[in-house]
Amino acid sequence: MENHKNNIKCAYLLKGIPISPGIAISKVFVLQDEAVKIEPTVIDESQIEGEIDKFKQAVAKAKLELRTLQTRVAHRIGEENAKIFDVHQLLLEDSLIIEETISSIKREFKSADHAFYDTMEKFQHTLDDSSIDFFQSRIPDLKDIKKRVIKHIQGDRTDYLNKLEGSAVIVAIDLTPSDTVKLDRHKVRGFATDLGGRTTHVAIMARSMEVPAVVGLRRIARIVNEGDRIIIDGSKGHVLINPDEKTIQHYRKLREKYYDIETRLAEIRDLPCITLDGKEIELSANLEFSDEVESAKTHGARGIGLYRTDYIYLAGSALPTEDEQYHEYKKIVEKMTPEPVIVRTMDVGGDKQPKSFTIPPEENPFLGWRAIRISIERPDIFEVQLRAMLRASQHGNLKILLPMISGLEEIIECKAALERAKSELRKKKIPFDENVELGVMIEVPSAALLADKIAREVDFLSIGTNDLVQYLLAVDRGNERIAYLYKHLHPAVLRAIKQIIAAGHQEGVWVGMCGEMASDPLATLILLGLDLDEFSVTPTSVPEIKKIIRSVDYREAVRVANKALEFSKASEVERFMTKVMRQKFKDIKT
Ligand code: PEP
Ligand code: MG
Residue 568 class from Cβ within 10 Å (0-12 exposed, 13-18 middle, 19+ buried)? Answer: exposed
**Dist CA 588 CA 543 (whole Å):** 11
CA dihedral 213, 218, 223, 227 (to 10 degrees): 20
- pLDDT band for 76, please (50, 70, 90 cuts): very low
* Mean pLDDT (the chain, rounded): 88
Residue 393 CB: number of other CB atoms within 10 A?
24
Report which ligand 1 atom has the smallest distance to the Cα of 515: 3
Query: Is the pLDDT score of 32 beyond 70?
Result: no
Mutate to test the pocket of ligand 1, among 313, 444, 466 (most ligand atoms within 8 A of CB): 466
Letter for the amino acid at 544?
A: E
3-state helix, strand, coil in the chain (%, to 5): 55, 15, 30
CA dihedral 348, 354, 359, 365 (to 10 degrees): 40
Residue 162 CB: number of other CB atoms within 10 A?
10
Cα(562) to centroid(ligand 2), Å: 27
The predicted-structure confidence for 319-362, as pLDDT tens digits, reads as follows: 999 999 999 999 999 999 999 999 999 999 987 888 788 888 88
Residue 317 class from Cβ within 10 Å (0-12 exposed, 13-18 middle, 19+ buried)? Answer: exposed
Cα(401) to centroid(ligand 1), Å: 12
- pLDDT band for 86, please (50, 70, 90 cuts): confident
Average pLDDT over residues 76-88: 67
Cα(466) to centroid(ligand 2), Å: 6
Among 266-280, 396-410, 575-589, the range with the most confident prediction by mean pLDDT is 396-410
CA dihedral 231, 234, 237, 238 (to 10 degrees): -10
Q: Which residues are within 5 Å of ligand 2 (an ion), measured at CB?
A: 443, 464, 467
Give the number of the ligand closest to the Cα of residue 351: 1
Domains assigned to the chain: 2-32+167-175+190-201+211-263 (3.50.30.10), 45-154 (1.10.274.10), 273-584 (3.20.20.60)
Ligand 1 pocket, residue 467 CB under 6 Å: yes
Ligand 1 pocket, residue 466 CB under 6 Å: yes
Residue 45 and residue 33 in contact, taking contact as beta carbons nearer than 8 Å: no
At 186, is the secondary structure helix, strand, or coil?
coil
Of the two residues 555 and 10, the one the predictor is more confident about is: 555
Residue 367 and residue 332 in contact, taking contact as beta carbons nearer than 8 Å: no
**Dist CA 477 CA 482 (whole Å):** 9
Query: Is the pLDDT score of 5 beyond 50?
Result: no
The predicted-structure confidence for 166-218, as pLDDT tens digits, reads as follows: 899 999 877 776 667 667 778 899 999 988 777 777 887 788 788 999 998 88
**Dist CA 13 CA 112 (whole Å):** 39
Report which ligand 1 atom has the smallest distance to the Cα of 517: 3
Query: Is the pLDDT score of 311 beyond 60?
Result: yes
The lowest-confidence range among 27-41, 87-101, 383-397, 543-557 is 27-41
Query: Is the pLDDT score of 266 beyond 50?
Result: yes
- pLDDT band for 580, please (50, 70, 90 cuts): very high
Give the number of the ligand closest to the Cα of residue 204: 1
Beta bridge partners of 15: 238
**Dist CA 571 CA 452 (whole Å):** 30
Query: Is the pLDDT score of 4 beyond 50?
Result: no
Which residues participate in catalysis according to the annotation?
A: 201, 514
**Dist CA 214 CA 203 (whole Å):** 8
Beta bridge partners of 304: 285, 341
Residue 116 and residue 146 in contact, taking contact as beta carbons nearer than 8 Å: yes
Give the number of the ligand closest to the Cα of residue 309: 1
Ligand 1 pocket, residue 190 CB under 6 Å: no
The DSSP H or E segment spanning 325 is: helix 322-336
Residue 228 CB: number of other CB atoms within 10 A?
18
**Given this model, what pLDDT does residue 46 score?**
92
Beta bridge partners of 190: 169
Average pLDDT over residues 144-160: 74
Looking only at the bridges linking them, the beta strands covering 282-287 and 238-243 are unpaired
| Helix ranges (DSSP H) in 169-300 | 177-181, 201-209, 220-223, 245-266, 293-298
Non-local (6+) Cβ contacts of 92 within 8 A are 59, 62, 63, 66, 145, 149
